[in-house]
Structure 1
Amino acid sequence: MKKYILLLIFNLCLFSCYPQRSFSDIVYFLPSSVNEILIKEIQKSGNNNDIYMVLDKENTDTYILYLSNNNSPKNFWKEHTNRAVFLQEKLIPLYFYSDEYFSFAEKGEDILKKLGTEKGIKKVTYLRENVFNIKFKLNGEIVDE
């Protein structure tokens, strides 16, 4: 009996020390008009496991939201973002378009190690020509092109 209790305590200690990665610290709620369009588009595509969103700002009051499917190589920003959009009881990863411009697709400690050496730092840009996007204003008004 003592062996079972010790084994149980050992397992509890082991699992409590297991690192748990939080999916998102910042949750975004989009206007309902935008949500409706996104839900329809996701249902059309059928594959909603690897989707993520990229938010860009076109001008002072107009935003563009890209709905992407991760068919490309591993997306650094999707994997390391702490932002997500709440949509249909799920959290979908979100990052900003400017993240691709002003950051490098590597962890900070790796970049610091490479500074001052001959090793190159990864710069990655994704093309979004054939990706679904929606333009909208803060009040939820959809902007036609």
Structure 2
Amino acid sequence: MLRGDVVAAPPTRRSGVLRTVGRLWLGATLALAGTSHLTVAREEFQAQVPTWFPADPDAVVVVSGVMEIALGAALLAAPGRRRAAVGWVVAGFFVAIFPGNISQLVTRTDAFGLESDTARAVRLLGQPLLVLWALWSTGAWRSLRSALAADPVVALER
């Protein structure tokens, strides 16, 4: 090791507990949100489907609801060796649905109590936090950093 090299400290027991609680909370939240897609908030979610999206809004809501339930269950139940992969998939899902949040702001669509441009804009700030939460709570970010530190060429080829 060269002087000035940074070595990540091993995770502490407390950080492991926080990560686990964060993953379980996110999983439960996703499963609950997915369930609400299919039941009580179906029309609210339809309002978020961009008008330019070439699919029936109700079908989009049903498919995204089923996906959220599945992703939530995966976060809750994935074995340790699979959690990082689940984290990347969940983060990708949050990125994929972001255009719906942008559309809600641009079209000034009221839904979920977001009845002002300010409220809709503030909500946009939450989406990157969800991506980071998924990556942190599953160890996905840490796993990528470790793989890059071990062999950057092989890690990027995966």
TM-score by length of 1: 0.28
TM-score by length of 2: 0.27
Larger radius of gyration: 1
Q: Which has the higher strand share?
A: 1
Q: Which has the higher helix share?
A: 2
